[in-house]
Amino acid sequence: MDFESLGASPRITTMIKLDHTHVLAAFHRYRADAPRWRKAALVNTICAALEIHAQLEEEVFYPALRAANPTAIALDKSVPEHNSMRESIATLRGMDPDAATYDDTLMELMREVLHHVADEETILLPMAEESLTHDLRRLGARMNTRRAHLVASRPAELAINSAGAFPVLTASLVGAAALAVLSALRARPRAPRDVQ
C-alpha cells in the first residue's frame, strides 16, 4: 500500500508519538509475577515494536531531520541509543522468562526507552515541527508505507505476541470482526431458490 498517494497521512511527528505511547503501554502491562507466556508475549511485543520503530526513524525521520538541520548535535546520539536498545533486545530475546535477571533486563530496556523518548519528544520532534513543516505529512506517508512492508514481513510473530500481550483487546477485535462478517452475510441478497 502506498500511503503517499492517499494524501491523508498523519504527520510523522504524530506517528512517532503514537509509537512511543504504544511501547510505553506495553511496558506498563508487564508484571514480574505474570505467567511466563504473558511475560514472553509482552517482551516480544515491546521488542518488535522497538525494532520496527528504530528502523523507521533511521530510514525516514533522521535523514530528513539531518538534511534540514545539518549541524544538529541532538541527532548525533539517536542511532547510538537505538543500537544500545538493540543490544538489550538481543539479550532479552536470548533469555528465558523465568531467568532471575529477566525482569531487571526489561527494566533496563525501559529506562533506555524512557530516556530516548524524552529526548525525542522534547528536542527532536519540536525541531522537526519547526524545520520540516511542509514535509511532515509526506514523511508520515513514507513512514506508513515502510511500516506496512516491515509488518508484512513478520505477521505471525506480531499477531501471536499481540494476542498474548493484549488478550482482551485481541478478543474484542476478533469478536468485532466476526460480527462484521456475520452482518455482511445476513445483509447479502439471497439468490432465489428453485422450486420443484
Write the pLDDT tens digit of every residue in 35-79: 999 999 999 999 999 999 999 999 999 999 999 999 999 999 999
pLDDT bucket at 191, cuts 50 / 70 / 90:
low
Sorted by sequence, the CB contacts under 8 Å of residue 4 that are 6+ apart come out as 138, 141, 142, 145
d(CA 58, CA 176): 36
Helix (H) or strand (E) holding 32: none
CA atoms 108, 110, 116, 118: torsion sign: negative
Residue where the block lists cell 539517536? 78
CB 39 within 8 A of CB 102: yes
pTM: 0.77
**The total number of residues written for the chain in this structure:** 196
